[in-house]
Amino acid sequence: MNFVIVTGYSGAGKTKAISVFEDMGYYCIDNIPPALIKSFAMLLKESGNFEKVAIVTDTRGKEFFSGLLSGLHELQAAGVNYRVLFLEANDDVIANRYKETRKKHPLYDEAGGSTRKAVEYEKELLAPIREHADYVIDTSLTTPAELKERIIKNFADNPENSFTIQCMSFGFKYGPAIEADLMFDVRCLPNPFYVDKLRQKTGLDKNVRDYVLANQTAVDTLQKITDLLDFLIPLYQKEGKTQLVIAFGCTGGKHRSVTFAEQLYHHFYEQGKRVTVVHRDIKRHTLSNGV
């Protein structure tokens, strides 16, 4: 089991970090008391159902947090393979972040009602943990996209495979694909619905695919879309995006859109990318007029 402990200064970006781990397929838990870490890790390890786990533990646990260092030693003695990611930022940046969000630092009360003193106090408390960390990232001048990139680089099994593509087909008459990042309308292409022997079939059937792709305009359209996506995807990855939903829409979501989604799925699959395909409306009833 790959076990990651995310900790560090309050306001340094732990919430953003744990969301990146979640996008990479980690089972994530936020704000777990240090005293429970060993028991939690052993439970997951014994179940055998969790290959990647990331947890956040920090000074929100107040008096419980003092046991983190001993908890790490217990994990090591128990044979749990773990790594510690420590996030930090300079005092001025953290104080300004709390000022901007109008949130109260977890140690605000203990520091006599001063955010600045709370930041300094937390820094002292976390010094031993920082020394124990496997990775330390200073987020003072780091954008969310840069933080994501660094986490993926250090913790993804294969950074290239941390990016997931979903190819989707849908029918416009049932509503747009609101979750799509990119949407292509292929209603401009010849519709197999108007061919009697193809009407009750779908883009999953070879006869329908052959009909759609026998049209040179459809072939050219598919090629241009594919070329565009091959160009855009590395840019999305560089920006820090971890998932891209590409949707194709036709009238009923059964023929042309399915064909295009399947073709694109196989294109990315052959490139070794993490890709899935979903046909939202393929099982919906088709009206007699096809619209």
Tens digits of pLDDT across the chain (291 residues): 789 999 999 999 999 999 999 988 899 999 888 888 888 998 888 888 888 999 998 887 665 566 787 888 888 888 888 889 999 999 899 989 888 888 888 888 888 989 889 999 889 888 888 888 888 898 988 888 888 888 887 887 765 556 789 999 999 999 988 889 999 999 999 999 999 999 999 999 999 999 999 999 999 999 999 999 999 999 988 776 777 999 999 999 999 999 999 999 999 999 988 899 999 999 886 544 444
Could you tell me the CA-to-CA distances from 137 to 83, 160, 190 in Å, in that order?
Answer: 14, 21, 54
Please report, for the domain that includes residue 64, its CATH number: 3.40.50.300
Q: Which of 125, 160, 195 is the last residue of a domain?
A: 160
Look at the chain and report how many structural domains it folds into: 2
Same domain? For 9 and 83 the reply is: yes
- Give residue 207's pLDDT: 96
Going by their DSSP bridges, the two strands 82-88 and 182-185 should be labelled as unpaired
Examine residue 93 and state whether it is found in any structural domain, yes or no.
Answer: yes
Residue 268 located in a structural domain: yes
Domain identity same for 38 and 103: yes
| pLDDT for the residue 66 | 64
- Token reading at 120: 């300094």
Instruction: Tell me if the pTM is above 0.75.
Output: no
Whether residue 55 lies inside any domain: the answer is yes
d(CA 110, CA 95): 16
In a shared domain, residues 53 and 140: yes
Does residue 105 sit in the same domain as residue 240?
Answer: no
Among candidate residues 160, 187, 213, the one where a domain is terminated: 160
Per-residue confidence (pLDDT) for residue 161, from 0 to 100? 57
Residue 284 lies in a domain: no
Task: Check whether residue 168 and residue 119 sit in a common domain.
Answer: no
Q: Are residues 18 and 124 in the same domain?
A: yes
Residue 127 shares a structural domain with residue 191: no
* End-of-domain residue from the set 160, 181, 216: 160
Structural domain contains residue 291 = no
Burial group, residue 89, by CB count within 10 angstroms (0-12, 13-18, 19+): buried
16 within a domain of the structure (yes/no): yes
Whether 264 and 225 have beta carbons less than 8 Å apart is answered as yes
Neighbours of 136 (CB within 10 A): 13
Q: Identify whether residues 192 and 113 lie together within a single domain.
A: no
93 with 195, same domain? no
pLDDT computed for residue 78 by the predictor: 83
Query: In this structure, are 100 and 12 located in the same domain?
Result: yes
Alpha-carbon distance of 214 to 208, in angstroms, equals 10
One-character DSSP codes across 140-186 = TT--HHHHHHHHHHHH-SSGGGG-EEEEEEEEGGG---TT-SEEEE-
Tell me whether residue 286 is in a domain.
no
Position 286 scores a pLDDT of: 53
- Residue 271 domain boundaries: 163-279
116 and 235 co-located in one domain? no
Residues 149 and 32 in one domain: yes
Q: Is residue 30 part of a domain?
A: yes
